[in-house]
C-alpha cells in the first residue's frame, strides 16, 4: 500500500493551517458530502500527504502540507446534537459520516496561490482548478503534490 496524496480545503475563518499548527492534531470532522465521505472512509490512510488549501479567502492558496495520522473512522460529531453539523440519521451503531485525523507537516514560507497554480500547465488536471468543483477532499497525484511543494520553494 503506497502513500497517497490529497488536497483538503478549509475556509481559514473556520479552521486555518495556523489553527492546525496550534492544535498539533485535528479531527477533520463535519464533512457532509458523500463523495468526500467515501474517500475519508475508504481511501485516506495514515501516512498519506495532504496539501492544505485555504478557500473563500484572499489569497486563495495552498499554505502548507499536512499528514494523515489516523485513517478514516466514524465522525462522532454527527450524533452530537450540540455539534456544528449534527445528523440525526447517523448513529454510533450505523455511522454515515467519517473523518480522519490530520497533523501539520510543513508550513510554506510562501503560499502557492491559486493564480500561480493556474499558470502551471503541469497542474491543469487538478480537480481544484476545474470550474465549479466544490469537493472539499480531493485526490492529487504524487507529481502534483511534489510540484506544488517545489513551487513554494521556488518563490523568493
Residues in the site for DNA, rule: CB under 7 A?
9, 11, 33-35, 55-56, 60, 114-115, 131-136
CA atoms within 13 A on the CB side of 8: 31
CB of 107 to DNA, least distance (A): 20
Question: Smaller CB distance to DNA: residue 100 or 117?
Answer: 117
Taking the least distance from each CB to DNA, the nearer of 119 and 154 is 119
In the structure, how many helices (H) and strands (E) does the chain have? 4, 6
Minimum CB separation of residue 137 from DNA in Å reads 9
Which class for 130: exposed (0-12), middle (13-18), buried (19 or more C-beta within 10 A)?
Answer: exposed
For residue 2, the minimal CB distance to DNA (Å) is 27
Pairing of strands 49-54, 5-10: parallel
- 60 or 107: CB nearest DNA: 60
Nearer to DNA, 67 or 96 (CB): 96
Give me 15's grid cell: 479552521
Q: Shortest distance, CB of residue 136 to DNA, whole angstroms?
A: 5
The SS3 assignment for 71 reads strand
Amino acid at each position: 500500500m503506497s502513500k497517497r496524496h490529497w488536497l483538503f480545503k478549509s475556509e481559514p475563518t473556520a479552521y486555518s493551517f495556523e489553527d492546525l499548527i496550534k492544535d498539533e492534531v485535528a479531527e477533520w470532522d463535519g464533512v457532509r458530502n458523500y463523495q468526500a465521505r467515501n474517500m475519508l472512509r475508504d481511501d485516506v490512510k495514515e501516512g498519506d500527504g495532504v496539501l492544505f488549501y485555504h478557500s473563500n479567502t484572499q489569497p486563495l492558496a495552498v499554505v502548507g502540507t499536512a499528514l494523515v495520522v489516523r485513517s478514516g473512522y466514524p465522525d462522532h460529531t454527527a450524533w452530537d446534537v450540540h455539534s456544528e453539523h449534527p445528523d440525526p440519521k447517523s448513529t454510533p451503531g450505523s455511522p454515515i459520516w467519517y473523518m480522519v485525523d490530520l497533523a501539520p507537516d510543513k508550513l510554506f514560507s510562501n503560499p502557492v496561490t491559486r493564480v500561480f497554480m493556474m499558470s502551471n500547465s503541469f497542474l491543469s488536471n487538478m480537480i481544484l482548478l476545474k470550474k465549479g468543483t466544490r469537493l472539499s477532499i480531493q485526490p492529487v497525484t504524487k507529481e502534483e503534490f511534489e510540484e506544488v511543494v517545489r513551487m513554494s520553494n521556488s518563490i523568493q
